[in-house]
């Protein structure tokens, strides 16, 4: 089983993530892009005890239980839900990372 946050390359993906949270907690927004251009997204949060994204492990990205994203609008909607008011820099980085795959 492969963790999409720590080992995206073992799932045939590249990734980008954004973090928020305090010293002993995590709150992470994760996006994966597969070698064939499919885009997947999920979030995970918790205290420092569990491994981030341990509930999303799989042998393939399809087994990880992440949402497949088909439009830039949907991806920006999810980022806004996660962060209320995403900063311009995060939006820009995310758009640059996925613009080749999403319209």
Q: Kindly report the three-state secondary structure assignment for every residue of 36-69.
A: CCCEEEEEEEEECCCCCCHHHCECCHHHHCCEEE
Tell me if 2 is assigned to some domain: no
Tell me if 85 is assigned to some domain: yes
- Tally of domains within the chain: 1
Tell me if 84 is assigned to some domain: yes
Give the range of the structural domain holding residue 80, as residue numbers without chain letter.
8-98
Q: What is the mean pLDDT of the chain?
A: 93
Tell me if 42 is assigned to some domain: yes
Whole-angstrom Cα distance, residue 65 to residue 73?
Answer: 21
pLDDT tens-digit series, residues 38-66:
999 999 999 878 889 999 999 999 999 99
Tell me if 54 is assigned to some domain: yes
pLDDT tens-digit series, residues 68-91:
999 999 999 999 999 887 688 889
Query: Taking CA 43 as the corner, what is the angle to CA 71 and CA 15, rounded to the nearest 5 degrees?
Result: 65
Whole-angstrom Cα distance, residue 101 to residue 83?
Answer: 23
Tell me if 70 is assigned to some domain: yes
Tell me if 88 is assigned to some domain: yes
pLDDT tens-digit series, residues 23-35:
888 999 999 999 9
Tell me if 66 is assigned to some domain: yes
pLDDT for the residue 103: 82
């Amino acid at each position: 089983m492969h963790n999409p946050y720590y080992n995206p390359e073992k799932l045939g993906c590249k990734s980008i993530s954004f973090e928020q949270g305090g010293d002993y907690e995590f709150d992470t927004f994760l996006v994966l892009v597969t070698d064939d251009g499919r885009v997947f997204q999920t979030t995970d949060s918790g205290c420092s005890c569990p491994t981030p994204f341990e509930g999303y492990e799989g042998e393939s990205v399809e087994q990880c239980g992440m949402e497949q994203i088909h439009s830039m609008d949907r991806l920006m909607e999810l980022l806004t839900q996660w962060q209320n008011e995403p900063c311009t820099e995060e939006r820009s980085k995310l758009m640059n990372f996925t613009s080749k795959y999403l319209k």
